[in-house]
Chain A
Amino acid sequence: MNLNTITEVKRPQSADQITQWRPGYAWLAGGTWLFSEPQFGTDTLIDLQGLRWPALTPSASGLEIAATCHIAELFAFSAPPEWRAAPLIRDCCNAFLASFKIWNASTVGGNICMSLPAGPMISLTAALEGVYTLWPRDGAPREVAAVDFVTGDNANILAPGELLRSILLPASALSKRFAFRHASMTKLGRSAALIVGTQGEGDLLLTITAATPRPIQFYFPEMPPATALRRAIDARIPADGYFNDVHGSAAYKRHLTLYFAEQIRAELAAA
């Protein structure tokens, strides 16, 4: 929709050109959320497209994803076979409520910075132990673990004007085995629970997303028995700690979480 409160679009060639940050500014990546609702508090868009960050940079250390990488580009990424967890990329893209046409415009960073519980790029990068590089407006770049970035529904650790520059998915995580479970109340709809387990050597890293306001991760050095897993989840997430919205009640999401977590445990334990 038209954003009628916008009076200016800045189109920097480099993020450094944005020196002053004030309320009313908003970074514009794909725009697929910004342009989907009125933005009464925003008067200036700062277009990230001119920064021309390379979308995907695979290397021996892993996959670096620019925040401005389109979902369509990520979906099309062809991973080396030793990255056994790479199919998770497509699983998570397909978990978008948004269609492939949105993917042509929307970005990985945009989805992460929206920080909705059901943001599948949060799920993907948290499950694959991603590290985000953040560019504060002043000060040196900093790094943060993906799982620590989102702090609640539509809330994250970004300071005003701070920019998510890139996400590194480490090769070590990409090389793990994984199990993926996902449910939505409607066909191909918004996630009610998106839960991923990865396994290196006999361990289990379980990442719960969509069902909770922020990603919750559990690490077990050894594959736990079913009861221990369930106890651990209940200890960490109280019954009211699940995200209640029109895409699923908290009780339902807890139910799905426990159900899928056990399925993932069993699947990875069996291998």
Chain B
Amino acid sequence: MNHTPADQPQPAPTADAPRNGYTINGKLYFAEPQPGQCLRTFLRERGVFGVKKGCDQGDCGACTVWLDGTPVHSCLMPAFRAAGREVTTVEGLAPPDGSLHPVQQAFLGAQAFQCSFCTAGMMMTCAALTDAQKEDMPQALKGNLCRCTGYRAIADAMHGRAEIAEDIAGEACGASVPSPLAHAIVTGEARYTMDVAMEGMLHLKVLRSPHAHARIRAIGRDRAMAVPGVAAIFTWEDVPRRLYSTATHEDHLVDPDDSYMLDNVVRFAGQRVAAVVAETEAAAEAACRLLEVEYEILPAVFDPVAAMAPGAPRIHDERGEERGNIYADIHGEIGSVAEGFASADAVHEMTYSTSRVQHVHLETHGSIAWQGEDGRVHIRTSTQAPFIAKQKLCHLFGLRPSDVHVFTERVGGGFGGKQEMISEDLCLLAALKTGRPVQWEFTREEQFIGATTRHQMTTRVKLGARRDGTLTAIELHVVSNTGAYGGHASETLGASLGGPMTAYRCPNKKAAGYAVYTNMVPGGGFRGYGSSQTAFAIECAIDELARLLGIDPFAMRRKNMILPGDWIESAWNDPSDVDFGSYGLDQCLDFVEGALAKGGGLPKPEGEEWAEGTGVALAMLECGPPTEHRSGAQMRLLPDGSYHLAVGSTEMGNGSITSHRQIAASLLSARADRIAIVNADTDLAPYDTGTFASTGTVVAGQAVRMAAEAMRDSILGFARRHTGADCRLDDNAVICGNERVGLAELYAIGTRAGHHFEAKRKSYLSLRSVAFNVQGIRLAVHRATGEIRILHSVHGADIGRLINPMQCRGQIEGSIAMGIGWALTEQMVYDAEGRMVNPALRNYRIPSYADVPPTEVFFADTYDRIGPLGAKSQGECAINPVAPAIANALADATGVRFPHLPLLPDRIFAKLAPHA
């Protein structure tokens, strides 16, 4: 027998010996991973939740950890290879003395994050870079994707530029104070939807249809049920046969009730067919593969124009013969475009199209549902609309609202993709049927094939103008491909016929729009929401018309753009509730023109194959949706003299918890960090329609303003009665005459006297203001390779008063980056059977660090009389002028109009004139 005394060195393990010691952030774990397990899930099973899943395929870098000090993507690393080695995650980055690693400090100082889901991986990469690598950040960071920031703030962090402002009492509004969660974010402590472990958790997986259109004849589940660990299987026969829409809006009638939780007809490739819950994801997956589904293949149609033709395959039979596949059509005319075109000296008419794209929020969809000891159901989820999700769940399952609790902790990006209830329902179904907690986390592939997308739209534009450039008629014809389901179809169609046409004064406007069912993945809400698509068409067309007339693109826009005092209208005669709370479009145009003229950015690359051009485009946004939207906020003074603020809206990287605190702090003359905030929780916060449609500031922020004012009045009212003097707030105290009373003391006195230091207010959206964005681009295009390089990007934003300038800039930059992706690289490609060819980030390219140039951002000096504290919507509209500005610059450079997105080299090279 081999005996080694304990005080002697242990023999080095041979390769055959069990080597199951794993050192994670300095702590030794003994465990045996599953044979095919990757390091990412092995770490998360040990509670190391700072390691994120963005793609699980090595493309996004969110899971970056160090193995013996070397950075690797832990999703690709076999877990067993970490045995006997040291793993460092974001939780182990900081020195043990409680200080921060310099990279954490730098990310904190530059606030180099928004939703922050990428941040841990980004920091673990940046902290491992050599000096030489830091010289080439595009190359060094090509394995780290951020969908929110546009990378400028990350570049700032790497260059040691800090931007955060001091949190000074009474000066919170307008200061670049950091996110209240900033420290938790850089240390990896911030918890996202899936970052919890629960006893007895079951895992849910769905089988998705390989067919674009089929009837399900039968589903054999015996073999699947026999997989060890499978707890339950659900098909269309097991769910409430109740129609609903997955789209979330205050008014549920704006979306068609055309979906079942699980259906016996599948209408797009990727639609869920059956759900399996099991003890492990592996068992659930295995069972999904063993389900025997008998499909009756039905004819499919993918093109909306073909789908409108008589005899086209019917997507939704129950809608009646007459309406066919047209879900919604909208028509309107003001004046007479026929007369307008007759009086025009020049007419431009062209068909433009924009592509279907995915949101690619780094955190995929996911939910966890369980029945609590309180007898209620709880759903922890990644949503932009927890309150509407709750309503829909009550509708589907016949539950009482008081028995359902829906909440988010931190949401890793949304962009409209989470204005949709597509993971909560099945988790709740399974939790109710099994009595156990159930979690379901989408894969990245499922995000592409089974979530929602921006509506693909084809827009025919016809513009007429007189010789001097004055528009005489605008006519739009839009066909929107809403895919298999109609959520957001009519609202995005309405938006497509709104803002972009409203931005121009013209007595004669006509619009016709059709949203059409096809067998494609459904459209949904997406930043820009229909307006992006037609802004592309109209802003390109304005340039073409200007070119016909020999008029400068800026002059053309100034001649026709909407001005204060104008009646705000697109093609409808109905009055609207939109007004100029402020106006800064003129300032934005002036800035962009001046900045482009001044130079800046990169010079044109060497070589005669490079052609250079500049382009501009503008966009107008109605601040908030035309549909109903409401929000509530409540505040309490706490016994220690600090404040508690509860607001229903969602924080998903939009920065609302930061700005809402600032609004309240400024009204309470307090430091922002004296206000604790909870949000997006149906138990803990007042009702909120949801954080979408540019409402985080103008609706939820408005509710916070009103609640904070009421809180202030409550405190000062009591203090005045108590002291008999005039009082004012000063951070943690009231000053009454010459006396300073601490808020904790005042609280104690007031509470004893029966005073309630609390306030609750609700806000509703009407009147709505308008915001503006102008994008300028100078680019170079290589006439042989078709490569486009953006040399200079400038942006003017009229978003009213900046509650947090750093955050506002970040929102604009993130929007621009997303616009660049839409314009240049992103495309969802489908085969002839309607299956997506490239549902992975390596094949669907969202902008990386290398793709996004810095942008000079200018803010118009405006103060809105409608929005809270002078602010307007900021996160959404900046995307709209980006693609047309790029297309206009490309047309300027080449003399060729490319009317279809994306402007990928293989789509444009053939039309580029050969070099001399």
Contacts and interface: CB of A to CB of B under 8 A. Distances in A.
A101 interface: yes
Interface string A32-59: 1001111110000101011000000000
A50 B15 contact: yes
Main SS class of interface, B: loop
Q: What is the interface residue range for chain B against chain A? A: 35 or more
Given A2-B282, A188-B848, A101 B139 contact: no
A1 B850 contact: no
A256 B38 CA distance: 39
A185 B144 CA distance: 19
B139 A35 contact: no
B143 A185 contact: no
A252 B280 CA distance: 46
Contact of B827 (A5, A105, A246): A246
A212 B365 CA distance: 37
A36 B57 contact: yes
A247 B825 CA distance: 10
Interface string A11-39: 10100000000000000101110011111
Given A102-B143, A246-B843, A11 B15 contact: yes
Interface stretch (A60-68, A91-99, A128-136): A91-99
Given A4-B36, A45-B36, A100-B143, A187 B838 contact: no
A104 B824 CA distance: 30
A39 B36 CA distance: 10
Nearest to A189: B845
Contacts of B280: 4
A2 B786 CA distance: 39
A4 B282 contact: yes
B769 interface: no
B41 A2 contact: yes
A268 interface: no
B138 A188 contact: yes
A78 to B, nearest CB: 14
Nearest to B144: A99
Interface in A122-150: none
A94 B58 contact: no
Q: What is the interface residue range for chain A against chain B? A: 35 or more
B24 to A, nearest CB: 18
A255 B548 CA distance: 32
B80 interface: yes
Contacts of B73: 32, 101-102, 105
Contacts of B242: none
B57 A45 contact: no
B71 A104 contact: yes
Interface in A225-271: 246-249, 251-253, 255-256, 259
A9 B844 CA distance: 32
Given A5-B36, A6-B36, A185-B904, A35 B286 contact: no
A185 B78 contact: no
Interface in B881-910: 904-906, 909-910
Given A13-B15, A35-B38, A101-B64, A246 B837 contact: yes
A9 B16 CA distance: 12
A105 B39 CA distance: 13
Contact of A2 (B37, B71, B837): B37
B78 A35 contact: yes
A259 B785 contact: yes
A102 B144 CA distance: 11
Given A2-B37, A11-B15, A188 B142 contact: yes
A186 B845 contact: yes
Contact of B289 (A28, A37, A40, A253): A40
A3 interface: yes
Given A45-B78, A186-B845, A188-B142, A101 B61 contact: yes
Interface string B115-149: 00000000001000000010000111111100000
A214 interface: no
Q: Which of B36, B77, B827, B829 has the most chain A CB atoms closer than 10 A to its own CB?
A: B36
A4 B227 CA distance: 13
Contacts of A201: none
Contacts of B910: 251, 255
A255 to B, nearest CB: 6
Given A2-B282, A7-B35, A9-B80, A187 B909 contact: no
A187 B34 contact: no
B36 A49 contact: no
B38 A2 contact: yes
A104 B70 contact: yes
Contacts of B837: 246
Contacts of B141: 99
Nearest to B785: A183
A268 B273 CA distance: 59
A1 B36 CA distance: 9
Given A36-B57, A101-B72, A248-B905, A187 B851 contact: yes
A249 B64 CA distance: 33
A31 to B, nearest CB: 5
A13 B16 CA distance: 10
A93 B225 CA distance: 47
Nearest to B141: A99
B842 interface: yes
A192 B78 CA distance: 30
A39 B282 CA distance: 12
Contact of B77 (A7, A105, A256): A105
B842 A190 contact: yes
A7 B140 CA distance: 36
Nearest to A248: B906
Q: Which of A13, A100, A101, A104 has the most chain B CB atoms closer than 10 A to its own CB?
A: A101
B75 interface: yes
Contacts of B40: 1
B76 A4 contact: no
A240 to B, nearest CB: 15
B48 to A, nearest CB: 16
B57 A37 contact: yes
Q: Which of A37, A38, A39, A252 has the most chain B CB atoms closer than 10 A to its own CB?
A: A252
B255 interface: no
B282 A187 contact: no
A185 B57 contact: no
B281 interface: yes
A82 interface: no
Contacts of B86: none
A104 B40 CA distance: 16
Contacts of A50: 15
Given A4-B286, A6-B36, A11-B15, A101 B125 contact: yes
Nearest to B846: A186
A73 to B, nearest CB: 12
Contact of B909 (A45, A189, A252): A252
B838 A246 contact: yes
Q: Which of B64, B77, B141 has the most chain A CB atoms closer than 10 A to its own CB?
A: B77
A106 B648 CA distance: 46
Contacts of B838: 246
Contacts of B289: 40
B75 A1 contact: yes
A246 B787 CA distance: 16
Contact of B75 (A6, A13, A35, A192): A35
Contacts of A192: 905-906
Contacts of B845: 186, 189
Given A1-B38, A32-B73, A183-B787, 14 more contacts: A1-B443, A2-B41, A9-B36, A31-B81, A35-B78, A40-B289, A101-B72, A102-B58, A102-B76, A105-B77, A183-B905, A187-B848, A246-B827, A249-B906
Give the top 10 A-B pairs by smallest Cβ distance, nearest first. Answer: A99-B143, A6-B36, A3-B36, A252-B906, A4-B282, A187-B850, A1-B56, A249-B906, A36-B57, A35-B76
Interface of A: 1-9, 11, 13, 28, 30-32, 35-40, 45, 47, 49-50, 94, 97-102, 104-105, 183, 185-190, 192, 246-249, 251-253, 255-256, 259
5 contacts: A31-B81, A39-B36, A101-B61, A252-B786, A256-B785
